[in-house]
Amino acid sequence: MQYFAHLRALRFGGHAPLGRHPLPHPPFGHPLPEGEGRRIIAKLEKLIGEKILAWKAIGIFDSGVGGLTVLKEVVRTLPQEDTIYLGDTARVPYGTKSPETVIRYSRQIARYLLNRDIKLLVVACNTASAVALSALQQEFEIPIVGVIEPGARAAAAATRSGKVGVIGTAATVASSAYTKAIKRINPDIEVVNRACPLFVPLAEEGWVDNEVTRMTARIYLEDLKAQGVDTLVLGCTHYPILKDVIAQVMGPEVTLVDSAAETARTVAQILTEQGLLRPENERGNHHYFVTDIPAGFIRVGNRFLGGELGDVYQVSLEQDQEGGEGEETQ
Protein backbone atom coordinates (compact mmCIF):
# COMPACT_ATOMS: atom_id res chain seq x y z
CA MET A 1 0.00 0.00 0.00
CA GLN A 2 2.88 2.34 0.80
CA TYR A 3 4.28 1.74 -2.64
CA PHE A 4 1.01 2.61 -4.39
CA ALA A 5 0.72 5.79 -2.27
CA HIS A 6 4.17 6.61 -3.53
CA LEU A 7 3.05 6.02 -7.12
CA ARG A 8 0.00 8.25 -6.66
CA ALA A 9 2.31 11.00 -5.45
CA LEU A 10 4.56 10.51 -8.44
CA ARG A 11 1.58 10.88 -10.74
CA PHE A 12 1.09 14.44 -9.52
CA GLY A 13 4.62 15.70 -9.81
CA GLY A 14 7.11 12.89 -9.67
CA HIS A 15 8.00 13.17 -5.94
CA ALA A 16 7.00 11.41 -2.75
CA PRO A 17 4.52 13.35 -0.54
CA LEU A 18 5.95 15.67 2.10
CA GLY A 19 6.40 14.16 5.52
CA ARG A 20 6.90 10.66 4.11
CA HIS A 21 10.06 8.86 3.28
CA PRO A 22 10.34 7.92 -0.36
CA LEU A 23 10.86 4.27 -1.00
CA PRO A 24 14.53 3.57 -1.60
CA HIS A 25 13.73 1.39 -4.61
CA PRO A 26 10.53 0.31 -6.30
CA PRO A 27 9.81 -3.42 -6.20
CA PHE A 28 11.24 -3.93 -9.68
CA GLY A 29 14.66 -2.79 -8.53
CA HIS A 30 15.30 0.59 -10.19
CA PRO A 31 14.42 4.16 -9.24
CA LEU A 32 11.50 5.58 -11.20
CA PRO A 33 12.42 8.19 -13.83
CA GLU A 34 10.68 11.54 -13.68
CA GLY A 35 7.01 11.12 -14.67
CA GLU A 36 7.20 7.35 -14.93
CA GLY A 37 4.89 6.94 -11.94
CA ARG A 38 2.21 8.89 -13.75
CA ARG A 39 2.46 6.59 -16.77
CA ILE A 40 2.35 3.44 -14.62
CA ILE A 41 -0.73 4.67 -12.77
CA ALA A 42 -2.44 5.52 -16.06
CA LYS A 43 -1.76 2.01 -17.33
CA LEU A 44 -3.06 0.48 -14.10
CA GLU A 45 -6.21 2.59 -14.24
CA LYS A 46 -6.79 1.60 -17.88
CA LEU A 47 -6.33 -2.09 -17.05
CA ILE A 48 -8.65 -1.92 -14.05
CA GLY A 49 -11.21 0.04 -16.06
CA GLU A 50 -11.21 -2.59 -18.82
CA LYS A 51 -11.65 -5.37 -16.27
CA ILE A 52 -14.61 -3.58 -14.69
CA LEU A 53 -16.12 -2.86 -18.12
CA ALA A 54 -15.83 -6.52 -19.12
CA TRP A 55 -18.23 -7.45 -16.30
CA LYS A 56 -20.99 -5.18 -17.59
CA ALA A 57 -23.93 -6.61 -19.57
CA ILE A 58 -24.75 -6.69 -23.26
CA GLY A 59 -27.85 -4.59 -24.02
CA ILE A 60 -30.29 -5.78 -26.71
CA PHE A 61 -33.48 -4.07 -27.87
CA ASP A 62 -36.25 -4.63 -30.38
CA SER A 63 -39.66 -3.17 -31.02
CA GLY A 64 -41.16 -6.36 -29.61
CA VAL A 65 -40.42 -10.04 -29.17
CA GLY A 66 -38.57 -10.85 -32.42
CA GLY A 67 -35.21 -9.70 -31.10
CA LEU A 68 -35.22 -12.66 -28.71
CA THR A 69 -33.86 -14.72 -31.62
CA VAL A 70 -30.82 -12.43 -31.57
CA LEU A 71 -30.54 -12.74 -27.79
CA LYS A 72 -30.76 -16.54 -28.12
CA GLU A 73 -27.80 -16.56 -30.53
CA VAL A 74 -25.80 -14.15 -28.35
CA VAL A 75 -26.33 -16.42 -25.35
CA ARG A 76 -25.42 -19.48 -27.42
CA THR A 77 -22.23 -17.80 -28.66
CA LEU A 78 -21.27 -16.07 -25.39
CA PRO A 79 -22.85 -18.06 -22.52
CA GLN A 80 -20.64 -16.29 -19.98
CA GLU A 81 -22.14 -12.86 -20.69
CA ASP A 82 -24.98 -11.08 -18.88
CA THR A 83 -27.70 -9.65 -21.11
CA ILE A 84 -30.42 -7.02 -20.68
CA TYR A 85 -33.24 -7.20 -23.23
CA LEU A 86 -35.85 -4.51 -23.78
CA GLY A 87 -38.88 -5.03 -26.01
CA ASP A 88 -40.79 -1.85 -26.81
CA THR A 89 -44.10 -3.70 -26.86
CA ALA A 90 -46.17 -0.59 -26.15
CA ARG A 91 -45.12 0.97 -29.46
CA VAL A 92 -44.69 -2.04 -31.76
CA PRO A 93 -44.46 -2.14 -34.77
CA TYR A 94 -41.72 0.31 -35.73
CA GLY A 95 -42.19 -0.35 -39.44
CA THR A 96 -45.24 1.92 -39.65
CA LYS A 97 -43.54 4.84 -37.86
CA SER A 98 -41.67 7.76 -39.40
CA PRO A 99 -37.86 7.69 -39.33
CA GLU A 100 -37.84 10.59 -36.86
CA THR A 101 -40.10 8.66 -34.48
CA VAL A 102 -38.02 5.47 -34.73
CA ILE A 103 -34.86 7.44 -33.98
CA ARG A 104 -36.53 9.06 -30.96
CA TYR A 105 -37.72 5.71 -29.63
CA SER A 106 -34.29 4.16 -30.19
CA ARG A 107 -32.55 6.98 -28.33
CA GLN A 108 -34.89 6.57 -25.37
CA ILE A 109 -34.17 2.84 -25.19
CA ALA A 110 -30.43 3.32 -25.61
CA ARG A 111 -30.37 5.80 -22.71
CA TYR A 112 -32.41 3.44 -20.55
CA LEU A 113 -30.04 0.54 -21.18
CA LEU A 114 -26.95 2.72 -20.72
CA ASN A 115 -28.33 3.70 -17.31
CA ARG A 116 -28.18 -0.01 -16.53
CA ASP A 117 -24.46 -0.09 -17.25
CA ILE A 118 -24.11 -2.00 -20.52
CA LYS A 119 -20.82 -2.37 -22.40
CA LEU A 120 -22.28 -2.98 -25.90
CA LEU A 121 -25.68 -2.38 -27.49
CA VAL A 122 -27.37 -4.58 -30.10
CA VAL A 123 -30.15 -3.01 -32.16
CA ALA A 124 -32.05 -6.25 -32.77
CA CYS A 125 -34.71 -4.61 -34.92
CA ASN A 126 -34.38 -4.36 -38.69
CA THR A 127 -36.32 -1.09 -38.92
CA ALA A 128 -34.31 0.57 -36.14
CA SER A 129 -31.07 -0.79 -37.64
CA ALA A 130 -31.96 0.70 -41.02
CA VAL A 131 -33.12 4.08 -39.68
CA ALA A 132 -31.52 4.81 -36.30
CA LEU A 133 -28.22 2.91 -36.08
CA SER A 134 -26.06 5.71 -37.45
CA ALA A 135 -27.62 8.30 -35.10
CA LEU A 136 -27.06 6.04 -32.09
CA GLN A 137 -23.45 5.35 -33.03
CA GLN A 138 -22.77 9.08 -33.32
CA GLU A 139 -24.40 9.89 -29.99
CA PHE A 140 -23.14 7.13 -27.70
CA GLU A 141 -19.58 5.98 -27.03
CA ILE A 142 -20.08 2.24 -26.50
CA PRO A 143 -20.01 -0.19 -29.47
CA ILE A 144 -23.44 -0.41 -31.14
CA VAL A 145 -24.27 -3.25 -33.53
CA GLY A 146 -27.24 -3.56 -35.88
CA VAL A 147 -28.62 -6.69 -37.54
CA ILE A 148 -28.39 -5.60 -41.18
CA GLU A 149 -24.65 -5.21 -41.78
CA PRO A 150 -23.69 -8.62 -40.30
CA GLY A 151 -26.30 -10.36 -42.46
CA ALA A 152 -25.22 -8.44 -45.55
CA ARG A 153 -21.55 -9.34 -45.03
CA ALA A 154 -22.38 -13.02 -44.61
CA ALA A 155 -24.58 -13.04 -47.73
CA ALA A 156 -21.95 -11.33 -49.86
CA ALA A 157 -19.37 -13.88 -48.72
CA ALA A 158 -21.66 -16.88 -49.23
CA THR A 159 -23.07 -16.28 -52.71
CA ARG A 160 -21.47 -18.18 -55.58
CA SER A 161 -23.73 -17.02 -58.39
CA GLY A 162 -23.84 -13.37 -57.36
CA LYS A 163 -27.60 -13.51 -56.86
CA VAL A 164 -28.90 -13.00 -53.29
CA GLY A 165 -32.47 -13.09 -52.04
CA VAL A 166 -33.69 -11.08 -49.05
CA ILE A 167 -36.96 -11.76 -47.24
CA GLY A 168 -38.33 -9.41 -44.59
CA THR A 169 -41.32 -7.37 -43.48
CA ALA A 170 -42.87 -4.93 -45.93
CA ALA A 171 -41.17 -2.02 -44.14
CA THR A 172 -37.70 -3.60 -44.26
CA VAL A 173 -38.05 -4.52 -47.93
CA ALA A 174 -39.33 -1.02 -48.78
CA SER A 175 -36.30 0.52 -47.06
CA SER A 176 -33.89 -1.44 -49.33
CA ALA A 177 -31.57 -1.55 -46.31
CA TYR A 178 -30.17 -4.99 -47.10
CA THR A 179 -29.81 -4.20 -50.79
CA LYS A 180 -27.81 -1.07 -50.01
CA ALA A 181 -25.63 -2.87 -47.46
CA ILE A 182 -24.88 -5.76 -49.83
CA LYS A 183 -24.18 -3.39 -52.74
CA ARG A 184 -21.72 -1.43 -50.59
CA ILE A 185 -19.77 -4.64 -50.12
CA ASN A 186 -20.02 -5.84 -53.72
CA PRO A 187 -21.87 -3.67 -56.29
CA ASP A 188 -22.00 -6.59 -58.74
CA ILE A 189 -24.29 -8.73 -56.58
CA GLU A 190 -27.90 -8.84 -57.73
CA VAL A 191 -30.33 -8.57 -54.82
CA VAL A 192 -33.93 -9.83 -55.06
CA ASN A 193 -36.29 -8.73 -52.26
CA ARG A 194 -39.54 -10.33 -51.14
CA ALA A 195 -41.84 -9.17 -48.35
CA CYS A 196 -43.22 -12.06 -46.26
CA PRO A 197 -45.47 -10.37 -43.68
CA LEU A 198 -47.41 -13.50 -42.68
CA PHE A 199 -44.24 -15.16 -41.43
CA VAL A 200 -44.36 -12.96 -38.30
CA PRO A 201 -47.77 -14.08 -36.96
CA LEU A 202 -46.99 -17.69 -37.94
CA ALA A 203 -43.78 -17.58 -35.88
CA GLU A 204 -45.51 -15.96 -32.93
CA GLU A 205 -48.29 -18.55 -33.00
CA GLY A 206 -45.71 -21.32 -33.03
CA TRP A 207 -46.89 -22.64 -36.40
CA VAL A 208 -43.42 -23.71 -37.45
CA ASP A 209 -44.16 -27.10 -39.01
CA ASN A 210 -47.63 -27.48 -40.49
CA GLU A 211 -49.27 -27.35 -43.90
CA VAL A 212 -50.43 -23.72 -43.53
CA THR A 213 -46.85 -22.56 -42.93
CA ARG A 214 -45.45 -24.71 -45.73
CA MET A 215 -48.09 -23.45 -48.18
CA THR A 216 -47.40 -19.82 -47.17
CA ALA A 217 -43.67 -20.35 -47.60
CA ARG A 218 -44.12 -21.88 -51.04
CA ILE A 219 -46.25 -18.95 -52.19
CA TYR A 220 -43.81 -16.35 -50.85
CA LEU A 221 -40.61 -18.05 -51.97
CA GLU A 222 -41.44 -19.61 -55.35
CA ASP A 223 -40.44 -16.46 -57.26
CA LEU A 224 -37.09 -16.22 -55.44
CA LYS A 225 -36.42 -19.86 -56.18
CA ALA A 226 -37.38 -19.40 -59.85
CA GLN A 227 -34.97 -16.47 -60.15
CA GLY A 228 -32.09 -18.71 -59.11
CA VAL A 229 -30.86 -17.07 -55.90
CA ASP A 230 -28.24 -19.24 -54.21
CA THR A 231 -28.23 -17.32 -50.92
CA LEU A 232 -31.24 -16.15 -48.90
CA VAL A 233 -31.06 -13.61 -46.07
CA LEU A 234 -33.61 -14.06 -43.29
CA GLY A 235 -34.12 -10.31 -42.94
CA CYS A 236 -36.51 -10.32 -39.98
CA THR A 237 -35.73 -11.42 -36.45
CA HIS A 238 -38.85 -13.65 -36.42
CA TYR A 239 -37.81 -15.67 -39.44
CA PRO A 240 -35.17 -17.95 -37.83
CA ILE A 241 -38.09 -19.61 -36.04
CA LEU A 242 -39.27 -20.78 -39.50
CA LYS A 243 -35.81 -21.67 -40.81
CA ASP A 244 -36.56 -25.38 -41.30
CA VAL A 245 -39.66 -24.76 -43.42
CA ILE A 246 -37.89 -22.06 -45.45
CA ALA A 247 -34.95 -24.42 -46.06
CA GLN A 248 -37.31 -27.18 -47.23
CA VAL A 249 -38.93 -24.88 -49.77
CA MET A 250 -35.70 -23.32 -51.07
CA GLY A 251 -33.79 -26.61 -51.27
CA PRO A 252 -30.30 -27.68 -50.15
CA GLU A 253 -28.51 -25.70 -52.87
CA VAL A 254 -29.57 -22.39 -51.28
CA THR A 255 -27.59 -21.06 -48.31
CA LEU A 256 -29.72 -19.44 -45.60
CA VAL A 257 -28.17 -16.47 -43.82
CA ASP A 258 -29.50 -15.99 -40.31
CA SER A 259 -28.94 -12.33 -39.38
CA ALA A 260 -29.38 -13.21 -35.70
CA ALA A 261 -26.51 -15.71 -35.76
CA GLU A 262 -24.30 -13.37 -37.78
CA THR A 263 -25.00 -10.51 -35.38
CA ALA A 264 -23.99 -12.69 -32.42
CA ARG A 265 -20.71 -13.52 -34.16
CA THR A 266 -20.09 -9.80 -34.74
CA VAL A 267 -20.74 -9.08 -31.04
CA ALA A 268 -18.25 -11.80 -30.04
CA GLN A 269 -15.64 -10.41 -32.42
CA ILE A 270 -15.97 -6.84 -31.11
CA LEU A 271 -15.77 -7.89 -27.45
CA THR A 272 -12.77 -10.11 -28.18
CA GLU A 273 -10.93 -7.35 -30.04
CA GLN A 274 -11.58 -4.85 -27.24
CA GLY A 275 -10.70 -7.26 -24.43
CA LEU A 276 -14.20 -7.04 -22.96
CA LEU A 277 -15.15 -10.71 -22.72
CA ARG A 278 -15.96 -12.20 -19.34
CA PRO A 279 -14.08 -15.38 -18.32
CA GLU A 280 -15.36 -18.44 -20.18
CA ASN A 281 -16.07 -20.36 -16.97
CA GLU A 282 -18.74 -17.83 -15.95
CA ARG A 283 -22.46 -18.17 -16.71
CA GLY A 284 -24.44 -15.09 -17.56
CA ASN A 285 -27.68 -13.79 -16.07
CA HIS A 286 -30.45 -12.53 -18.33
CA HIS A 287 -32.94 -9.75 -17.60
CA TYR A 288 -36.05 -8.84 -19.59
CA PHE A 289 -37.98 -5.57 -19.76
CA VAL A 290 -41.00 -4.50 -21.81
CA THR A 291 -42.96 -1.27 -22.14
CA ASP A 292 -46.43 -2.85 -21.99
CA ILE A 293 -48.12 -5.60 -19.97
CA PRO A 294 -45.71 -8.58 -20.07
CA ALA A 295 -48.26 -11.41 -20.55
CA GLY A 296 -48.12 -11.58 -24.37
CA PHE A 297 -44.35 -11.17 -24.43
CA ILE A 298 -43.94 -14.01 -21.92
CA ARG A 299 -46.17 -16.35 -23.94
CA VAL A 300 -44.36 -15.79 -27.24
CA GLY A 301 -40.94 -15.35 -25.64
CA ASN A 302 -41.10 -18.75 -23.98
CA ARG A 303 -41.86 -20.23 -27.41
CA PHE A 304 -38.90 -18.44 -28.99
CA LEU A 305 -36.49 -19.40 -26.20
CA GLY A 306 -37.78 -22.89 -25.52
CA GLY A 307 -39.38 -22.04 -22.18
CA GLU A 308 -36.25 -20.40 -20.75
CA LEU A 309 -37.62 -16.87 -20.32
CA GLY A 310 -37.12 -15.51 -16.81
CA ASP A 311 -38.98 -12.75 -14.99
CA VAL A 312 -40.18 -9.91 -17.21
CA TYR A 313 -40.63 -6.37 -15.90
CA GLN A 314 -42.68 -3.54 -17.34
CA VAL A 315 -40.91 -0.17 -17.48
CA SER A 316 -41.82 3.39 -18.43
CA LEU A 317 -39.34 4.91 -20.87
CA GLU A 318 -41.03 8.30 -20.71
CA GLN A 319 -40.35 8.47 -16.98
CA ASP A 320 -36.77 7.39 -17.58
CA GLN A 321 -36.31 10.21 -20.09
CA GLU A 322 -37.31 12.70 -17.41
CA GLY A 323 -34.30 11.72 -15.35
CA GLY A 324 -35.14 8.54 -13.44
CA GLU A 325 -34.40 4.95 -14.26
CA GLY A 326 -38.02 4.20 -15.11
CA GLU A 327 -40.70 2.64 -12.98
CA GLU A 328 -40.68 -1.17 -12.98
CA THR A 329 -43.59 -3.51 -12.44
CA GLN A 330 -43.57 -7.26 -12.78
Would you give the end-to-end CA distance of the chain in angstroms?
46
User: What secondary structure letter does DSSP report for 161?
Assistant: S
CA dihedral over 292, 295, 299, 301, signed as positive or negative? positive
Quote the CA–CA distance of 296 and 300 in Å, as a whole number: 6
What is the full DSSP assignment across 55-122?
TSEEEEEESSSTTHHHHHHHHHH-TTS-EEEEE-TTS--STTS-HHHHHHHHHHHHHHHHHT-EEEEE
**Pairing assessment for the beta strands 286-290 and 255-258 based on DSSP bridges:** unpaired
Of 258, 261, 249, 200, nearest to 224 by C-alpha is 249
User: What secondary structure letter does DSSP report for 227?
Assistant: T
Q: What is the dihedral of CA 61, 62, 63, 68, to 10 degrees?
A: -120
154's CB contacts (< 8 A; 6+ apart) are 233, 257, 262
Verify whether residue 196 is a known catalytic residue: no
Using left for φ > 0, alpha for ψ between -120 and 50, and beta otherwise, residue 282 falls in beta
Catalytic residue among 84, 113, 125, 241: 125
Quote the CA–CA distance of 241 and 69 in Å, as a whole number: 8
Residues in the chain: 330
Catalytic residue among 78, 144, 236, 317: 236
Residues identified as active-site: 125, 236
